[in-house]
């Protein structure tokens, strides 16, 4: 990508898309193209095609998706598979028609089989049954990878699929009804501190292990991949295997260690109590990132630093909300 390359970031208001825009702006790219959902519904094929024909982006980061937790996935499975298939089909096809040079399709680690060996290598794709709760979402994402691969083979396009591990950062979702584990811990701990409570109750036993990547690190990795020289980019696009690369830290921590780090950062000195009657989820989920490390990229923000940055960015907002009686448990 050159400083004046036309770069479309789809989903620029989301956790991932906003971090990619920040990274691009911070590194001097001047022709970043964005559209809100109200301006361009990526589920509408003719609108997407017209937009690409008019704007002619050269590079596309496809970070728009219908995303949600277990409850949303269970309640709206049809919406998850339909919307995601539509968004990615429309963007991939319009990219082909308008001659996009490189496209990065964002998926997630839920595409891998539920019980696959750890750490998870790219080649474990389609080697076993998926986690049932988000299968429609995961199958849509797998279809996206397959589309990238098929388009590369049939149309000689250069589309790559990146599978990030669990992400966190300032633009995360801190709603306790639908948030992931880290933002939920940050919110609960902040609220306990504000109330002067002496205890935070953490779901499960505290023993499951999770890998977490700071959103700015992910954005950096995405731009790194889009900027790979021809030889290294081509090494990821072969006829023999899907054009797939994991993005993560390659390190994981227990939920207990995570809760302790959050408490340290926020300055909560009360007790952490683990509630084993609540579900633990998968015991371990760690990406094998040797493919990414082999290309020369490593994360730079360690977990405590990332939690500090996130806390700095959201502390006023969360303190204000908890003072207004928002949910706390």
Ligand X SMILES: NC(=O)c1ccc[n+]([C@@H]2O[C@H](COP(=O)([O-])OP(=O)(O)OC[C@H]3O[C@@H](n4cnc5c(N)ncnc54)[C@H](OP(=O)(O)O)[C@@H]3O)[C@@H](O)[C@H]2O)c1
Q: Which of 29, 112, 137, 168 is catalytic?
A: 137
Footprint on residues 162-191 left by ligand X (CB under 6 A): 164, 166-167
Is residue 87 a contact residue for ligand X (CB under 6 A)? yes
DSSP readout, 64-90? ------HHHHHH-HHHHHHHHHHHHHH
Binding of ligand X at residue 41 (CB under 6 A)? Answer: yes
Largest CA distance in the chain: 62
Number of residues that bind ligand X (CB under 6 A): 22
Q: Which stretch binds ligand X (CB under 6 A): 1-9, 160-168, 254-262, 293-301?
A: 160-168
Omega within 30 of 0 (cis) for the link into 114: no
- Residue 303 engages ligand X in binding (rule: CB under 6 A): no
Q: Which of 73, 72, 139, 79 is nearest to 107 (CA)?
A: 139
Please report whether residue 157 would count as binding ligand X according to CB under 6 A. Answer: no
- Secondary structure E strands in 225-270: 244-247, 253-254
Using rule CB under 6 A, residue 17 touches ligand X: yes
- Chosen residue from 15, 92, 182, 185 binding ligand X by CB under 6 A: 15
Angle between helix axes 255-266 and 303-323 (nearest 10 degrees) is 60
Q: Which is nearer to ligand X, 167 or 244 (CB)?
A: 167
Q: Does 64 bind ligand X (CB under 6 A)?
A: yes
Minimum CB distance to ligand X smaller for 206 or for 248: 248
Of 283, 212, 165, 219, which is closest to residue 26 (Cα–Cα)?
A: 219
Q: Does 65 bind ligand X (CB under 6 A)?
A: yes
The reply to whether 151 belongs to the active site is no
Q: What DSSP character marks residue 109?
A: G
Q: Which residues on neighbouring strands pair with residue 105, listed in sequence order?
A: 62, 161
Q: Is 314 helix (H, G, I), strand (E, B) or coil?
A: helix
Please state the closest distance from residue 229 (CB atom) to ligand X, in A.
25
Tokens 């996130």, located at residue: 310
Contact status: 57 vs ligand X (CB under 6 A): no
Pairing of strands 59-62, 166-168: unpaired
Residue nearest to ligand X (CB): 14
Catalytic annotation, residues = 137
Residues contributing to the site for ligand X (CB under 6 A): 11, 13-17, 37, 41-43, 63-67, 87, 106-108, 164, 166-167
């Amino acid at each position: 990508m050159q400083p004046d390359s036309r770069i479309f970031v789809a989903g620029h208001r989301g956790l991932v898309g906003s971090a990619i825009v920040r990274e691009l702006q911070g590194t001097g790219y001047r022709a970043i193209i964005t559209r809100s959902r109200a301006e361009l519904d990526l589920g509408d094929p003719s609108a997407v095609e017209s937009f690409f024909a008019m704007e002619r982006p050269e590079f596309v980061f496809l970070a728009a998706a219908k995303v949600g937790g277990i409850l949303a996935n269970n309640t709206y499975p049809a919406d998850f598979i339909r919307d995601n298939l539509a968004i990615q089909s429309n963007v991939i096809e319009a990219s082909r028609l308008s001659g996009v040079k490189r496209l990065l399709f964002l998926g997630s680690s839920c595409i891998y089989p539920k019980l696959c060996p750890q750490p998870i290598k790219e080649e474990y794709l389609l080697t076993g049954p998926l986690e049932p709760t988000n299968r429609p979402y995961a199958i849509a994402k797998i279809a996206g990878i397959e589309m990238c691969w098929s388009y590369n083979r049939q149309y000689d396009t250069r589309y790559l699929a990146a599978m990030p591990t669990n992400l966190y950062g300032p633009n995360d979702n801190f709603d306790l009804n639908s948030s992931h584990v880290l933002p939920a811990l940050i919110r609960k701990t902040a609220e306990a501190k504000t109330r002067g409570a002496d205890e935070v109750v953490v779901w499960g036993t505290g023993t499951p292990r999770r890998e977490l990547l700071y959103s700015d690190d992910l954005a950096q990795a995405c731009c790194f991949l889009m900027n790979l020289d021809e030889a290294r980019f081509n090494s990821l696009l072969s006829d023999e295997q899907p054009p797939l690369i994991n993005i993560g830290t390659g390190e994981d921590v227990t939920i207990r260690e995570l809760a302790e780090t959050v408490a340290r950062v926020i300055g909560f000195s009360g007790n952490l109590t683990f509630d084993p009657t609540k579900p633990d989820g998968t015991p371990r989920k760690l990406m094998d990132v040797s493919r990414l490390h082999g290309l020369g990229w490593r994360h730079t923000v360690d977990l405590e630093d990332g939690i500090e940055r996130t806390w700095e960015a959201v502390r006023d907002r969360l303190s204000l909300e908890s003072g207004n009686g928002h949910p706390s448990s």
